[in-house]
Amino acid sequence: MASPYRAIFAAPGTKTFSAAGLLGRMPLSMMGVGIITMISQLTGRYGLAGALSATIALSAALIGPQVSRLVDRYGQRRVLRPATLVSVVAVGGVLLCAELRLPDWTLFVFAAGGGCVPSLGSMIRSRWAAIHAGSPRLLHTAYSWESIVDEICFILGPVLSIGLSTAWFPAAGPLLAGVFLIIGVLWLTAQRATEPVPHPRSHDTKGSALRSPGLQVLVATFVSTGAIFGSVDVVTVAFAEEEGHKAAASLVLAVYALGSCVAGAVFGLLHLKGRADRRWLLGVVVMAMSMIPLQLAGSLSFLAVALFVAGLSIAPTMVTTVALVEQHVPRAKLTEALTWVSTGVAVGMALGSATAGWVVDTSGADAGYAVPAAAGALAAAVGFLGYRRLAPATERGGASADDRTEHRVA
């Protein structure tokens, strides 16, 4: 392990909670694509598959930030365990209804309850923020490491989920994702020594973190970015099926994540200077442009190469996003704020997967790749329009009293 990465794990307990976070985040990459694969196998309806995946994502978008706000106030252990129980029961209901071929509305009822799944990535990053609060350099490396962990999940998750659902039985992938979530949450919440100190009701915790103008820009942009991810998942599964190799979709999506993983590993070694908001905008623009070559995909091998290149911009952009979140919200609201960013991605994935499913059903997989291209263009447009809100207060010509208070606390 390179020296900066070795340094972040010098603090006691860091290796263990990061490992628990890896296991608990596997459902992030397994559940959506697993449900898409399961429903498409059982019914052949990609529109229904995308709509169910979208319902779970939208439910998480509505409930997730509220769960994280409770975590900031009461602590991870007290909140995450009951929230996880509700989520697992709801997803289990989806799987049971699908296997029993019950009416479609029953699937959506249970899918709506799946949003209680906690944002494990936000929980882990808040632990890093508490441990390395006095060292921006180590915190940058820690966030880069967690970005690598995210991509490891996206490399392994689709392979496991799609592979098990196609080779064993349709519900195998989502079922294993639920098992990973339970183990990961129980393991993480058992580690009390590294759990961030809760922040009971106070002036600094009043109101939502989303009141921050900078956070609003980040969340809005990542709705469009999430639409890229969600639509790429759906269209790639459909494209691979049209090519006669549906199971290969997991490998292609893993290559997409591998590109981000490689970029994240390198990014964490860098000692960056200059403004984070400019790096962020550049990353969003590059991410949007990387969707253009997908329109030319004529084979799975070409698609894999194009997605690897596209993945190179993801991790650096996400790491920079976390740094910007820290600049724009107080420490007492950090978990909630990070979850709002994840929520933006989840909403976008829901919209992207539903839209892509409809396009695939009506026009075929080749036409489906227009969806992530359009989403990327929208993300770049939103980033440009909101860029000034991300600039330091001195560049914006001053800040409001609330903003100045938030920056002092953060």
- 407 or 77: which carries more pLDDT confidence? 77
Burial 301-311 (b: 16+ CB within 10 A, else e): eebbbbbbebb
| pLDDT score of 206 | 61
| pLDDT score of 107 | 87
Token pair in block for residue 169: 């039985």
The least confident of 52-61, 122-131, 167-176, 203-212 is 203-212
Domain-embedded: residue 150: yes
Nearby residues of 192 by Cβ (< 8 Å), 6 or more positions away: 77
Residue 408 above 70 pLDDT?
no
Mean pLDDT confidence for 190-209: 73
Instruction: Determine how many CB atoms are found less than 10 A away from the CB of residue 402.
Output: 12
| pLDDT score of 130 | 85
Q: How confident is the model at residue 187 (pLDDT cuts 50, 70, 90)?
A: very high
Q: CA–CA separation, 349 vs 362, rounded Å?
A: 20
Q: How confident is the model at residue 379 (pLDDT cuts 50, 70, 90)?
A: very high
Q: CA–CA separation, 1 vs 89, rounded Å?
A: 39
Token pair in block for residue 71: 């975590």
Residue 148 above 90 pLDDT?
no
Nearby residues of 104 by Cβ (< 8 Å), 6 or more positions away: 48
The one-letter amino acid at 269: L
Mean pLDDT confidence for 185-200: 87
Residue 144 above 80 pLDDT?
yes
Quote the number of domains for the chain: 1
Domain-embedded: residue 116: yes
- 51 or 178: which carries more pLDDT confidence? 178
Q: Distance from CA of residue 184 to its chain's centroid?
A: 17
Give the structural domain span for 186: 12-198+208-409
Q: What is the CATH number of the domain that holds 126?
A: 1.20.1250.20
| pLDDT score of 250 | 75
| pLDDT score of 307 | 93
Domain-embedded: residue 159: yes
Residue 202 above 60 pLDDT?
no
Mean pLDDT confidence for 126-131: 87
Q: CA–CA separation, 71 vs 338, rounded Å?
A: 12
Residue 387 above 80 pLDDT?
yes
Residue 90 above 70 pLDDT?
yes
- 9 or 46: which carries more pLDDT confidence? 9
The least confident of 11-20, 63-72, 324-333 is 324-333
The one-letter amino acid at 153: C
Residue 197 above 90 pLDDT?
no
- 298 or 191: which carries more pLDDT confidence? 191
| pLDDT score of 207 | 63
Domain-embedded: residue 177: yes
Residue 235 above 70 pLDDT?
yes
Token pair in block for residue 319: 């790491």
| pLDDT score of 201 | 64
Q: CA–CA separation, 293 vs 246, rounded Å?
A: 21
The phi, psi pair for 297, rounded to 5°, reads -60, 120
Contact between 353 and 50 (Cβ < 8 Å)? yes
Using alpha carbons, list the distances in angstroms from residue 389 to 217, 225, 277, 328, 392: 7, 19, 9, 10, 8
Three-class secondary structure assignment of the chain? CCHHHHHHCCCCCHHHHHHHHHHHHHHHHHHHHHHHHHHHHHHCCHHHHHHHHHHHHHHHHHHHHHHHHHHHHHCHHHHHHHHHHHHHHHHHHHHHHHHCCCCHHHHHHHHHHHHHCCCHHHHHHHHHHHHCCCCHHHHHHHHHHHHHHHHHHHHHHHHHHHHHHHHCCCCHHHHHHHHHHHHHHHHHHCCCCCCCCCCCCCHHHCCCHHHCHHHHHHHHHHHHHHHHHHHHHHHHHHHHHHCCCCCHHHHHHHHHHHHHHHHHHHHCCCCCCCCHHHHHHHHHHHHHHCCHHHHHCCCHHHHHHHHHHHHCCHHHHHHHHHHHHHHHCCHHHHHHHHHHHHHHHHHHHHHHHHHHHHHHHHHCHHHHCHHHHHHHHHHHHHHHHHHHHHCCCCCCCCCCHHHHHHHHHC
Q: CA–CA separation, 356 vs 361, rounded Å?
A: 8
pLDDT in tens, 336-357: 888 888 888 878 887 888 788 8
| pLDDT score of 185 | 93
| pLDDT score of 403 | 38
Using alpha carbons, list the distances in angstroms from residue 355 to 115, 157, 268, 273: 20, 23, 35, 39
Domain-embedded: residue 5: no
